[in-house]
Amino acid sequence: RGVVLTAGGFIANKEMVARYAPETSRANWRVGTDNDDGSGIQMAQSVGADAIRMEAASITIPLYPPKSICAGVLVNASGQRFLNEDAYAGQIGQQALFRQNGRCWHLLDADSYVVNEAFMEAKVVEETWEELEAALKLPEGSLVSTMDLYNRHAERGEDPIFHKRSSLVRPLTKPPFGALDVTVEGSIYAAFTLGGLHTLPTGEVLRSDGSAIAGLYAAGRTTSGVSAFGYVSGASLADGMIFGRMAATSAVARVRST
């Protein structure tokens, strides 16, 4: 008389990822278990349930710790920065894969260089920004312009474009200059899915027309939850605990009333 689905997401189901979240197929590190196979979503779909935001995923790149590595700059295939380097690791991953096509590098000078806890090392090292630009095959003049602008502001401890915290803003002027490979082929892109069943806060599972399927409830990563593009640590715990309790409460109330 009341069924609650809390069966995880679908990151372990290659066919579902390819169908619903093809960009996420490029991620090379799966966050989840073999049971994140989409079975809960598929069971609900078989009785008419709607699944939403199925293309959404959390992507994390372990650029830091240590936080000091964020004194460097992340650039894309156009040789331009695209976010503040001290951003949440999940935001860096989201932007890198979905906005920059997995083509980016983290650049450091001799004073800021450090090997992070993921053992990422500079594979390309040059004596000037011009030479590094050429070695990375970036558009001519792009990286030089980016670093000139960044360093001019950094001399004042400022980052007026992306607002990196001032303690991490300093000129990158001491050679040699190195590039950490943060491309999707050369770095860790850790992923799990965020899309799932369309539910009400009560846990009731909806059809595509917005009507509820009587007696069917869901919570956790089996649902689309509160996350769409982007993720913050702990959101899955909240989805599971809070909405799991609400779904169970709804199911019990239905059983008692019938």
Q: Per residue in 125-169, pLDDT tens?
A: 999 999 999 999 999 999 999 999 999 999 999 999 999 999 999
Q: How confident is the model at residue 42 (pLDDT cuts 50, 70, 90)?
A: very high
pTM score: 0.88
Q: What is the pLDDT of residue 109?
A: 96
CA distance 8 to 41: 9
Distances (CA, A) of 249 to 16, 49, 204, 255: 30, 20, 11, 10
Is the pLDDT at 2 greater than 80? The verdict is: yes
Q: What is the pLDDT of residue 227?
A: 77
Question: Where do the domains of the chain lie, and which CATH numbers do they carry?
Answer: 3-59+195-257 (3.50.50.60), 68-181 (3.90.700.10)
**Nearest-CA neighbor of 70 among 186, 203, 183, 162?**
162
3-state secondary structure of 212: strand
Distances (CA, A) of 133 to 111, 184, 215, 239, 245: 19, 19, 60, 44, 53
b (16+ CB within 10 A) / e for 87-109: bebbbbbbbbbbebebbbbbbbb
- Helix (H), strand (E) at residue 4: strand 3-5
pLDDT digits (tens, 9 = 90+) for 171-217: 999 999 999 999 999 999 999 999 999 999 999 999 999 999 999 99
E strands, 66-166, are: 73-76, 104-108, 122-126
Cβ atoms 106, 136 nearer than 8 A: no
CA distance 233 to 60: 11
- Helix (H), strand (E) at residue 29: strand 29-30
| Tokens at 20, concatenated | 């619903």
CB atoms within 10 A of CB 214: 11
